[in-house]
Amino acid sequence: MDKTEMILHEVDKDVLSLLQEPELRSFSDIIGAGSSSLEQLQKQSDLMKKLDIMMNANPHIHSAYLYSYGQRMYLTPSTAAPESVFFDNEWRERFDNYEGYYKWLGLRTVEDKLAMHPVSKQVLTMVRSYPAISSPSFRKGALVVNIDESMIYNLSVNDGLRQLGQAFVIDGNGQVIAHGDKSILGQNISSREEMKKIMSSGGEGSFAQTVDGNPSLVFYASSKYTGWKYVSIIPDVQLNREILTIRNWLLLIAFIMFALAVAAVFLVNKVTYRPIVSFVSSVNKQLHSRTGQPAGAKTKDKAINLEAAEGLFDSFLTEHDHMQRQVRQNIPAMKWRLISDILMGYRTRFSDVEPSLEWLDIRLYSSHYIVMSAEFDQKSLISSKDLQLYTYALCNAAEELTNAESRGAAVEMVDGRIVILISFEQEDRQSNMLRALSAADLIKTFVQEQLKMTVTIGVGRQYERLDELSKSYREAIDALQYRMLLGANHVISIEDIEDYSQQQFYRLFDLADAALDAVKAGDDGGVAKKLELLFQQALQESVPPKLLKQICLQLVLRSLKVGSDIGLDAASITGGDAKLYEQIEAAENAAEVKQDITRFFRELLTRITEKRSQRGSNETIEHIIDYIANNYQRSGLSMNLIADTFQLSVPYLSKIFKEYTENNFTDHLIQLRMNKAKQLL
């Protein structure tokens, strides 16, 4: 599964990279929007080449094509075709009204009727919208990628597993999308008993089930990215065949050893005293040594006869004590495992976990649960050893304070973060939430007064059953992330966080676009002002931290493209090895994010100013710009025509034109024509 997921993410990364290409804007718009037919054909040709490069670079892609809603047209690496004659329009029924930005459509049969020798193929399809973040009403186009089903199956299943049993992949609806037996591809098997258990479970796990009349062991793993489930079914006969063989050999060896031992006992009894006599003599000797009385010589001789047996007995007692110590030492780990399984949704029935809870001395009610997540602020400033000690102290204090309020438990999840599970006897949600928040305030006060540090606590909603506990856990983690906006040393309840509206979403991106325009203009003060407005808006509207980081990263990427267009090295600005991106992702509050990107833009604008001052003049480009200004009204004006006129190659002309003007030829020509049209109006 891990290898398959890695490849699918790599494909998605290539798709996102292609969606950033400027030619897509022209292809997705309606024909005639400021560009000539020749320019449209040139851009289509460039897009087809980039599609072909993407497919050649990623052998796992079976086919890929772009679709324009404005032109109602498809573009493949080899051809452009109108929607009416294209061989694959079925994907639109499942994606056109889909609210997300991308979707895995599951198993489909695709036949390229435009090819010389059409062949039907079972594929798994991913569709991404263009622009990359757009709702159905604002979509201009889409990129469709088909991956061969056989490739997914071969990556997911190894040869050893195929020999033992069957393995396959199903989608979220229970449809088989990858299987060694191609005759059952596309079948919905969600009604089977083992599939019902798998469909109702998340994460990964295993269970015993009779499948097709054979007792079997069923393994499954769920993908959060695609929603697929990877299933392996191994009959007990296959699984246990080698184990049974080894067991039989061990039983035979044990029987032989037992027979030899019995024979040895009879032989030893003939030449020595009975073991019980030796044991009593040894005890007698120990008692005499403790009381100071000398033992008789006869007793000493008897004790020497079975000295080895006594050593074995002492070794047994020592091992017994060692095992008891190990059990006591492993209780925290066993407690962590049990609570983790409950929070992740692997253990969902209270009656099943109640014996384990009692054995580990964890007191919980059978319903009414709330999960809290507490994490030290500024963890990066605390040494690893000290952080472990502080976390241990916080965990013990949290459990004690929680049990004083009701019944609960606390465990350490990662360094510096603990999870607190609290249960209540009554169903009163409002009263229970107040009691949970009161316990959280007591924990926060303890950390401030006793540890001289601060801690932020996220609180999830109340849920009634154990199988819903994972929801409260995720909500507590989400609430904790709002520390970046609200600041450290807070108790943050998920119920106090406002929903984020679509209108606020567009306002933030408008501010980001304004900051990018200031970067293009080299306006240092304008960039600082727009960034200040962007963060003020985010703080006022309680924007989710993940979205704020995403907007900042996108702004950094677009700004780097502005710098790369004039020949700047992106790695030298960001610190190399994605250091800037890691700093933004690791930031604990909005102030750190703002500080990082402000420093980045200050460095970027300095580099842009230096580059522009070093550029000087280029007489050839100046002649070309004059030529364009005098011939902009010609419909046949293109990069190829200018290259022939000035006896330059098209790639070289494109490179020097972009470095000098900081714009490509097409955008420059469109802007010139628009300015002339404004003058005429």
DSSP state of 501: P
**pLDDT band per the 50, 70, 90 thresholds, residue 489:** confident
Tell me how far apart the alpha carbons of residues 406 and 422 are, in angstroms, rounded to a whole number.
Answer: 7
Residues 6+ apart with CB under 8 A from 561: 20
Sheet holding 407-414, edge to edge: 407-414, 417-423, 369-376, 455-459, 491-493
Model pLDDT for residues 577-636, shown as the tens digit of each residue: 456 777 777 787 788 888 888 888 888 888 877 776 665 556 777 788 888 888 888 878
Model pLDDT for residues 453-468, shown as the tens digit of each residue: 999 999 999 999 988 9
Q: Annotate 557-590 with three-state secondary structure.
A: HHHHHHHHHCCCCHHHHHCCCCHHHHHHHHCCCH
Length of the chain in terms of residues written: 681
Tokens of 497: 């966080």
**pLDDT band per the 50, 70, 90 thresholds, residue 192:** confident
What is the H or E stretch that residue 408 is in?
Answer: strand 407-414
Largest CA distance in the chain: 129
Q: Is the pTM of this model over 0.85?
A: no
Tell me how far apart the alpha carbons of residues 158 and 145 are, in angstroms, rounded to a whole number.
Answer: 25
What pLDDT is attached to residue 369?
94
Q: Annotate 325-368 with three-state secondary structure.
A: HHHHHHHHHHHHHHHHHHHCCCCCCHHHHHHHHHHCCCCCCCCC
Residue 543 has pLDDT above 80, yes or no: no
Domains annotated on the chain, with CATH? 2-150 (3.30.450.20), 157-271 (3.30.450.20), 363-496 (3.30.70.270), 502-615 (no CATH), 619-680 (1.10.10.60)
Please state, for a pLDDT cut of 70, what percent of the chain lies above it.
82
Model pLDDT for residues 340-389, shown as the tens digit of each residue: 888 888 888 888 888 888 888 888 998 899 999 999 988 878 888 888 88
Model pLDDT for residues 290-347, shown as the tens digit of each residue: 445 554 444 444 444 445 555 656 666 777 677 767 766 677 888 888 888 888 888 8
Residues 6+ apart with CB under 8 A from 175: 106, 107, 186, 187, 188, 189, 190
The separation between the first and the last C-alpha atoms of the chain, rounded to the nearest angstrom, is 62
Closest CA to 194 of 183, 181, 186, 205: 205
* H helical segments located in 222-369: 236-271, 275-291, 297-305, 307-343, 350-359
- Residue 525 CB: number of other CB atoms within 10 A? 8
Tokens of 626: 């004059």
Q: How far is CA 47 from the centre of its chain?
A: 31
Please state, for a pLDDT cut of 90, what percent of the chain lies above it.
9
Tell me how far apart the alpha carbons of residues 615 and 626 are, in angstroms, rounded to a whole number.
Answer: 19
- Supply φ then ψ for residue 183, to 5 degrees: -70, -20
- Residue 378 CB: number of other CB atoms within 10 A? 12
Model pLDDT for residues 105-119, shown as the tens digit of each residue: 888 888 876 666 677
Between CA 559 and CA 567, with CA 563 as vertex, the angle to 5 degrees is 160
**pLDDT band per the 50, 70, 90 thresholds, residue 253:** very high
Identify each DSSP E strand in 453-578 by its residue range. Answer: 455-459, 491-493
